[in-house]
Amino acid sequence: GENVEQHPSTLSVQEGDSAVIKCTYSDSASNYFPWYKQELGKGPQLIIDIRSNVGEKKDQRIAVTLNKTAKHFSLHITETQPEDSAVYFCAASTGYSTLTFGKGTMLLVSP
């Protein structure tokens, strides 16, 4: 089955800096890669996703890149703010199937 590795497990940045979280996946059939933000005591919130026919996608301060050949994808957050502090999860699936999640990255943005 699919296996998703996520790094780093924790990431501390200063407000205004950029943050990058990286994931690798094992199943070459995977074609959908969402990113979720989870705040303490809440459910995961879908923040951005990318499909395998696209190499990059942006939404304001966040962007995701996908390298199908290397089987890795990354989340980029620019101009970080304290409210970006949360746990971020990457995931992979073959579209209509279930999501396989990475173990998460705790992002801490210091004012």
Partner 1 sequence: NAGVMQNPRHLVRRRGQEARLRCSPMKGHSHVYWYRQLPEEGLKFMVYLQKENIIDESGMPKERFSAEFPKEGPSILRIQQVVRGDSAAYFCASSPRSWQSSYEQYFGPGTRLTVT
Summarize as ranges the residues that interact with partner 1 (CB under 8 A): 6, 32, 34, 36, 42-46, 49, 51, 89, 93, 95-104
Tokens coding 92: 């992979």
Q: Which is nearer to partner 1, 45 or 81 (CB)?
A: 45
User: From the CB of 15, what's the least distance to partner 1, in Å?
Assistant: 25
Q: Which is nearer to partner 1, 9 or 18 (CB)?
A: 9
Q: Show the beta-strand stretches assigned E in the chain.
A: 4-7, 10-14, 19-25, 32-38, 45-51, 56-59, 62-67, 72-77, 86-92, 100-101, 105-110
Q: Which is nearer to partner 1, 20 or 49 (CB)?
A: 49
Q: How far is CA 88 from the centre of its chain?
A: 6
User: From the CB of 93, what's the least distance to partner 1, in Å?
Assistant: 7
User: From the CB of 96, what's the least distance to partner 1, in Å?
Assistant: 7
Please give the angle made by the CA atoms of 109, 25 and 42, to the nearest 5 degrees: 40
